[in-house]
Amino acid sequence: MKSYLECIPCFFKQALRAGRIATDDEKILKRLMDELGTHLPRISLESTPPETGRLIYRMVAEITGNPDPYRELKREATEQALARYPRLKRTIEDSDDPLLAAIRLAIAGNVIDFGANASYDMDKAIREALEKDFAILDYDAFKSRLKRSGKILYLGDNAGETVFDRLLIEQIDRPMTYVVRDKPVINDATYADGVAAGIDRIATIVSSGTDAPGTILATCSPEFRQMLQNCGLVIAKGQGNYEGLSGEKREIFFLLKAKCPVIADNIGVETGAIILKGINLN
Amino acid sequence: MKSYLECIPCFFKQALRAGRIATDDEKILKRLMDELGTHLPRISLESTPPETGRLIYRMVAEITGNPDPYRELKREATEQALARYPRLKRTIEDSDDPLLAAIRLAIAGNVIDFGANASYDMDKAIREALEKDFAILDYDAFKSRLKRSGKILYLGDNAGETVFDRLLIEQIDRPMTYVVRDKPVINDATYADGVAAGIDRIATIVSSGTDAPGTILATCSPEFRQMLQNCGLVIAKGQGNYEGLSGEKREIFFLLKAKCPVIADNIGVETGAIILKGINLN
């Protein structure tokens, strides 16, 4: 997905949000805004938002001297989610359709996103995702692919959300590779965040090689790119993965909450909508 | 009031909003964003938001070639407000405290602000302003100044809001000078907008000399600055006038709805609060 003009004010908002977590020195923060401003003519709207996100978080790291401002928030989000894990596990088991309940909860976890949101209410998100109608639900296609696919690739999104992904992975109960970002960027899940959520016990965790807050193939490792081509089923969580991969030619199932109006508009749903959307279904 | 870091993303948002009204050429709009970005290092946080607003709307005019993108929206807002005038006049007359009701309605009119808002619901704003508790209400001081003041200066804000100002001016029923911006900037009221609202029939309309979306004294005419010093009572409507004058030494009564979180925080109220706040009361 390309960027829209409306993404530009949001780039500054995101940079400021991350900057404020890294430092409270207003002069440094103004310099961060100024550098992003000066760089703006070199940011093309043809690039995807996570490509610019990558650049922004590099600027934040360089200018504030803090390469991982979200570290503590990521730890907290994972802890909060783990505390809810036993209850959510029972919710899935008690459900009439445990797979769909697990999908709903995986989407609930997608609110833990400090790129798109300043704050979130995890319990409210859980209640909503369990009850809300899907705006797009390619469930039959998803189930039929699950049956016939050998290798499954699950592209993770944020730390803490990882715990909700774990519930879905456990429910699917098939050999799976869980993909994380290579380096810290916003609150996106890295290898350590996957392990903290317990995903290493049920799936193979691999890095996509990227340090962008989304799957930007040009920044991913050749190994990951090959994996993406060869696997039978791709489940991609969250906005960053959608933005990076929505133009790909292969079949991908996107699982997300459309938190930002630009992405919602691009998908053709209302802001706040929950979706399981398959592209290039055949 | 100085600018805050949080104003920066909002500057881009406002520029884009005004730009989109002026043109739908995405390339021109990207150039507008780029020029604002490149200029950002020269925008000091020590300057007030309307000073930057002035710069932004000059950029919009230059780059899009449209010096008054809000012209039609201003006309519509004035028409909409005039259509409600007879009913609102009766609301004031039927009220237990007609002056306070007129103050409340003048605040309701303050939602017509395309700088702070993308859209608004005039009737909802009227209902809310008539019922909502004031977060700050220096009403006794205001009434006592009204009694003893000779010359009253009323600093207008936006077109359409002018009709609501007219109701309050009629209720005060004293010789008054109504101050407008010198040139079109966002949807701020100019001389023509004051006349369109019928204010010329009940007050003397003068220009402050500024083309900023707020009363930035350095950009105002010497005549206006003298008027501001010499008059007995100053009523200043809206955020732009607050931002420009909140640091002044003389007594001023600010009448506004705190639409933006930065201003609300600066005043010490919640976003959405309505206030009649006197500064330098003695």
Name the strand (E) or helix (H) holding B256. strand B252-257
Q: How many helices (H) and strands (E) does chain A have?
A: 12, 7
Domain boundaries, chain A: 7-64, 71-279
Selected residue of A11, A21, A35, A40 to mutate for chain B interface (largest B Cβ count, 10 A)? A40
CA-CA distance, A176 to A167, in Å (whole number)? Answer: 13
pLDDT in tens, A85-97: 999 999 999 999 9
In angstroms, what CA-CA distances link B21 with B26, B127, B184, B186?
12, 29, 14, 10
pLDDT in tens, A234-268: 999 999 999 999 999 999 999 999 999 999 999 99
Instruction: Collect all residues of chain B within an 8 Å Cβ-Cβ radius of residue A41.
Output: 34, 37-38
Residue A113 has pLDDT above 80, yes or no: no
**β B204-207/A204-207 pair status:** unpaired
> Residue B185's closest CA among B71, B32, B78?
B71
Subunit contact B30:A5, Cβ cutoff 8 A: yes
The Cα angle at residue A174 between residues A170 and A177, in degrees rounded to 5 = 90
CA-CA distance, B210 to B234, in Å (whole number)? Answer: 17
Nearest CA in chain A to B40: A34
Tell me: domain B7-64, CATH 1.10.8, correct? Answer: yes
CA-CA distance, A26 to A161, in Å (whole number)? Answer: 31
ipTM attached to this prediction? 0.90
Please, what is the average pLDDT of chain A?
95
Give me the DSSP letters along B227-254.
Answer: HHHH-SEEEEEHHHHHHHHTT-SS-EEE
Instruction: Collect all residues of chain B within an 8 Å Cβ-Cβ radius of residue A37.
Output: 36-41
Residue B116 has pLDDT above 70, yes or no: no
Q: Which of B29, B38, B40 sits opposite A5 (nearest CB)?
A: B29
Structure-token pair, residue A158: 């944020």
Three-class SS of B197-231: CCHHHCCEEEECCCCCCCCCHHHCCHHHHHHHHHC
Question: Per-residue pLDDT averaged across A30-38, rounded?
Answer: 98
- Å between A7 CA and nearest CA of chain B: 10
Question: Per-residue pLDDT averaged across B229-244, rounded?
Answer: 96
Subunit contact A9:B16, Cβ cutoff 8 A: yes
Nearest CA in chain B to A42: B34
- Å between A11 CA and nearest CA of chain B: 8
Residue pair B186/B213 in contact (Cβ under 8 Å)? The answer is: yes
Residues across chain B: 282
Selected residue of B4, B6, B8 to mutate for chain A interface (largest A Cβ count, 10 A)? B8
Residue pair A146/A164 in contact (Cβ under 8 Å)? The answer is: no
Categorize the per-residue pLDDT at A42 as very low, low, confident or very high, splitting at 50, 70 and 90.
very high
Q: Which fold has domain B71-279?
A: Rossmann fold (3.40.50)
Residue B81 has pLDDT above 70, yes or no: yes
